[in-house]
Amino acid sequence: MGSLFDFMLPELESPLTGASTDAVMAFIHIVSFIILAGVTIALIYFAIKYKRKSEDDETPLITHNNKLEITWSVIPLLLVFIVFGWGYKGWLNLQTPPDNAYEIHVSAYKWGWTFSYENGAQIGNEVHVPAGRPVKLVMQSQDVLHSFFVPDYRIKQDVLPNRYTTVWFQAEEEGESQVFCTEYCGTSHSDMLATVVAHTQEDFEAWLDEQNTGGGGTPVERGESLVSIQGCVTCHSVDGSQKIGPSFQGLFGREETMTNGTTLTADENYIRESILNPSAKIVEGYQNQMVSYEGRLSDDDISDIIEYIKTLED
């Protein structure tokens, strides 16, 4: 497609997430152009052909034409189905980060972005990523709604307070891409910018090693000490043994059956909810005995605990 569409979209830097978006967009434009051209040509042709030629020309009375009406209903319907099916497939892909994705935490606030790494490094308004590898962002807002948008990658995802949202991409080449906030969030919304810097894997690791980790330990280390300080381990074992509450071992990603018979997969949002509102979803076979940690744990604390639980595999 190349140059024909270059004036509409920036160059695609993450084909794994963006190729289908570009293809659907090209399809819609090409089909629209064909329909526009067809309608225009027919309009001009009929205007000339059926022009009133003399004073006693009479317009015939035509009420409807079944064949014509079915044709102009079914063709657009099929086109819309194609766009829907294609778009849905692309959306599913965007919703499903690859298992081997490199994870970075994103905290949005009025008006900026903080990116946190596994080794404890934090950096503002600049996110460094390895090229040629899928990257998954786990995002949360400290205040109002924001939205993380990288046009080069064709990804956009709302960032909300009190809930985690995720987005993924894979930059194929080294280079920089612009991040915008695309949810109006107050006075400096338009200044809420960041840059994605894609490095080779080697350069990325070197960059990460150089970052100041603040001496507070990694998120996993902080999480481990929190579950001990806050008393979580009194009721939740970390080695799979049976206690008052479900064990943390193997919890993340586990399919759980609730007391009301529904099942769910334990993810970031489920663990967060269970910490802040423990009675919301009780695992089958357990009692509602936990008190809320609302006000006792900050958003960062909760994210650290989740990172720690993720490491407790079966």
Interaction of residue 146 with ligand CUA, rule CB under 6 A: yes
Pick 110 or 281: Cβ nearer ligand CUA:
110
Q: Are 95 and 183 within 8 A, CB to CB?
A: no
Beta-carbon contacts of residue 256 (< 8 Å; ≥ 6 apart): 246, 263, 264, 265, 266, 283, 284
Mutual orientation of helices 66-95 and 15-49 as an angle, nearest 10°?
170
Q: How many residues bind to ligand CUA according to rule CB under 6 A?
A: 8
Cβ-contact 237, 247 below 8 angstroms:
yes
Cβ nearer to ligand CUA, comparing 147 with 177: 147
CB 235 within 8 A of CB 243: yes
Tell me whether residue 116 or residue 247 sits nearer to ligand CUA (CB atom): 116
Binding to ligand CUA in span 187-246, by CB under 6 A:
189, 192
Q: What track of x and - describes contact with ligand CUA for positions 62 through 101 (by CB under 6 A)?
A: ----------------------------------------
- Tell me which residues in 96-135 interact with ligand CUA (CB under 6 A): 111
CB-CB contact of 246 with 286 (8 Å): yes
Q: Is 181 in the site for ligand CUA (CB under 6 A)?
A: yes
Binding of ligand CUA at residue 179 (CB under 6 A)? Answer: no
Q: Which residue number, 111 or 153, has a Cβ lying nearer to ligand CUA?
A: 111
Residue 209, token pair as written in the block: 């090693």
Closest CB to ligand CUA among 72 and 184?
184
Taking the least distance from each CB to ligand CUA, the nearer of 183 and 307 is: 183
Closest to 185 measured CA to CA, from 149, 152, 236? 149
CB of 145 to ligand CUA, least distance (A): 8
d(CA 278, CA 5): 51
For residue 111, say if its preceding peptide bond is cis, omega within 30 degrees of 0. yes
Q: What share of the chain is helix, strand, coil (3-state, %, to 5)?
A: 40, 20, 40
Cβ at position 157, least distance to ligand CUA in Å: 13
CB of 253 to ligand CUA, least distance (A): 30
- Determine the interface stretch with ligand CUA among 35-43, 58-66, 166-174, 182-190 (rule: CB under 6 A): 182-190
Determine which residue in the list 185, 198, 282, 297 makes contact with ligand CUA, applying CB under 6 A.
185
- In the bound state with ligand CUA, the residue whose beta carbon lies nearer, of 110 and 136, is 110
Any residues with CB less than 8 A from the CB of 101 and at least 6 apart, and which?
133, 134, 135, 136, 168
Q: What are the structure tokens assigned to 119, written together?
A: 């080794």
- Binding of ligand CUA by 268 (CB under 6 A): no
Binding piece for ligand CUA, criterion CB under 6 A, among 150-158, 185-193, 261-269, 288-296: 185-193
Beta bridge partners of 148: 157, 181
For 252, other C-beta atoms within 10 Å of its C-beta total 20
Q: Is 310 in the site for ligand CUA (CB under 6 A)?
A: no
* Interacting residue ranges for ligand CUA, rule: CB under 6 A: 111, 146, 181, 183-185, 189, 192
